[in-house]
Amino acid sequence: MSATACGQDDGAPQIWTEPPRTHSDTLPRSWVGGASDEVVLIQITQDGTKITGTLNGTELEGNGRLDVDQGAFTGTTQNGAITLLFETGLGTQRSISGTVTSTEMVLNHATKSGGMETYTLRPGTIDEYNARVADLGNPNSNSALNS
């Protein structure tokens, strides 16, 4: 039905419009990063400024064993800022925040010792995450360092 059919002339302004979604509105689905002793995979589903997803982390402990951790999160992203909220039980949450573009995510979180740790992630795949986990502790590999 046209605006004219509703009793409006063709010169009348539109009452409702939805802006087209552009690529820059949506973050990449999977992100991979870490350090020489840890690899992180974040997978995101985005609906406007709201995000949900999972964080998988694999850390090489001092005894050579791998410590694997996974958590679901909700959060927001807007104007280059991102916040991930993890339920920790009994109605409490843990927050990790940082900055994000279409090519880089930088997250800061508090460590158990009270300091701050920064992770830089880039768009990646599960295969990249798995390859970097396989390389943890391998002194001849530098793939875990290339976030």
Per the CB < 8 A criterion, the answer to whether 69 and 46 are in contact is: no
Residue 12 within any structural domain of the chain: no
Residue 140 within any structural domain of the chain: no
Per the CB < 8 A criterion, the answer to whether 17 and 130 are in contact is: no
Number of domains in the chain: 1
Q: Specify burial of residue 38 (Cβ count, 10 A radius: 0-12, 13-18, 19+).
A: buried
**Residues, the chain:** 147
**Residue 88 pLDDT:** 85
| CATH code: domain of residue 116 | 2.40.128.620
Measured CA to CA in angstroms, residue 65 lies from 3, 33, 136 at distances of 67, 20, 10
Residue 142 within any structural domain of the chain: no
Q: Specify burial of residue 88 (Cβ count, 10 A radius: 0-12, 13-18, 19+).
A: exposed
Residue 4 within any structural domain of the chain: no
pTM of the model: 0.75
Residues 59-97: pLDDT tens digits?
A: 999 888 999 999 999 999 999 999 999 998 888 888 999
Residue 131 within any structural domain of the chain: yes
Instruction: Name the residue range of residue 44's domain.
Output: 23-135
Residue 130 within any structural domain of the chain: yes
Residue 76 within any structural domain of the chain: yes
Residue 2 within any structural domain of the chain: no
**Residue 93 pLDDT:** 85
Say if residue 144's pLDDT is above 80: no
